[in-house]
């Protein structure tokens, strides 16, 4: 059964679908909190996109990150931890500019990355 995100993070989602983007985004602080939150450690971050607020909408910046797939010998917990670290590294290295958001692709399906 798929686990739901904690309400704290659900409430902070920015729905990008009205702008033609089938995803959601979080600001830098929220996504970094999510990546470090022990209650979220059973989620893997397969990758994500950088989104920019533009006027009254949002658009892709054509910048993204992804995590390499996992080997059959790597368990999901290790893969999820590795994927969160990759996301943290990317986001922490990304320039701190106003109106930039991050749209992660997250899952808690144990078959992810295979």
Q: Band of the pLDDT at 72, cuts 50, 70, 90?
A: confident
* Residue 91 pLDDT > 80: yes
Contact call for residues 37 and 87 (beta carbons, < 8 A) = no
pLDDT given for residue 2 in this prediction: 67
How far is residue 33's CA from residue 58's CA, in Å, rounded to a whole number?
A: 22
Residue 1 has pLDDT above 60, yes or no: no
Q: Where are the domains of the chain?
A: 7-107
Tens-digit pLDDT profile for residues 2-25: 688 999 999 999 999 999 999 999
As a residue count, the chain comes to: 114
pLDDT at residue 25, rounded to an integer: 98
């Amino acid at each position: 059964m798929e686990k739901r995100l904690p309400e704290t993070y659900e409430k902070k989602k920015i729905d990008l679908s009205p702008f033609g983007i089938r995803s959601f985004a979080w600001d830098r602080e929220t996504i970094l909190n999510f990546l470090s939150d022990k209650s979220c450690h059973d989620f893997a971050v397969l990758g994500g996109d950088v989104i920019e607020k533009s006027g009254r909408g949002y658009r892709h910046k054509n910048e993204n990150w992804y995590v390499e797939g996992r080997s059959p010998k790597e368990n999901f917990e290790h893969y999820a931890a590795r994927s969160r670290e990759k996301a943290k590294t990317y986001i922490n290295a990304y320039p701190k500019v106003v109106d930039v958001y991050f749209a992660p692709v997250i899952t808690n399906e144990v078959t992810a990355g295979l």
